[in-house]
Structure 1
């Protein structure tokens, strides 16, 4: 369904979604319009769901990154999903197999904010926390 050119366009957009269509075209040997057509098709097929930016959380005052494994003690997953969506400190959330029920990534400014987040999680289950020392990639 997707050829090598489609995959290359996706890779280019993942690295810089603001790149001009003509620039992308030069890289994949297509015209800017042909690239636009492929991107539109990829969007319609759901392969491209949206565009985003990378942020430096430390420079935004959120220099503490926590990875939280949640062990649910309730069956009310819908309420937990709402809690996750409504909480801006949680930047990623995955329902997982293996250890725990959910894996969360949180970006906070302080240990106090992290403690506040963890206290909120306790209404749904227990947790294990790993803190990032530095980002490699």
Structure 2
């Protein structure tokens, strides 16, 4: 169970994962050692899954962001596993979800350009034997960056 200090610690780390135990202690009104132990406990208990850097896709040459909905022709465990393996092998697919509704999967992709997105769809996704239909949407502008989780 999280207490209010834990939730404040998690909120602070979502804003800046580089905070030292000293800085966390100042924010939380704890000693650096107490703040460090709390962080370690939250890591050990799985509340904190890891730390990463947020990169600028455009500066990396990834000028096209899209969402691709995939509908499978058949829904057996073998087809689902095979499609999941394909998704995990493609670097341009940065996240994937199974969905309710018309689409079975929603993929978030970043590609260098439109021909690269076209190639991903027509040369990788559609040829997969389990895939029946693909529907893509290109992001024109991102109004809100991936935000911290509410704590």
TM-score band, normalised by shorter chain: over 0.9
Unaligned runs of 5+ in 1: none
Aligned partners of 1:5 and 1:72: how far apart in 2?
45
Indicate the residue corresponding to 1:69 in structure 2.
Answer: 69
Provide the rounded CA distance (Å) in 1 between the counterparts of 2:24 and 2:102: 41
Q: CA RMSD in A?
A: 1.1
Q: TM-score, normalised by structure 2?
A: 0.86
Structure 1 stretches of at least 4 aligned residues deviating more than 2 Å after TM superposition = none
Number of equivalenced pairs: 137
Matching residue within 117, 123, 135 for 1:114 = 117
Q: Which has the higher contact order (CA 8 A, sep 6+)?
A: 2
Q: What residue number does 1:79 align with?
A: 82
Q: Deviations over 1:11-62 (max 9, x none)?
A: 1111111122211211111122111111111111111111111111011000
2: CA distance, partners of 1:4 / 1:71:
42
Give the CA deviation at 1:102. 0.7
**Partner SS for 1:39:** helix
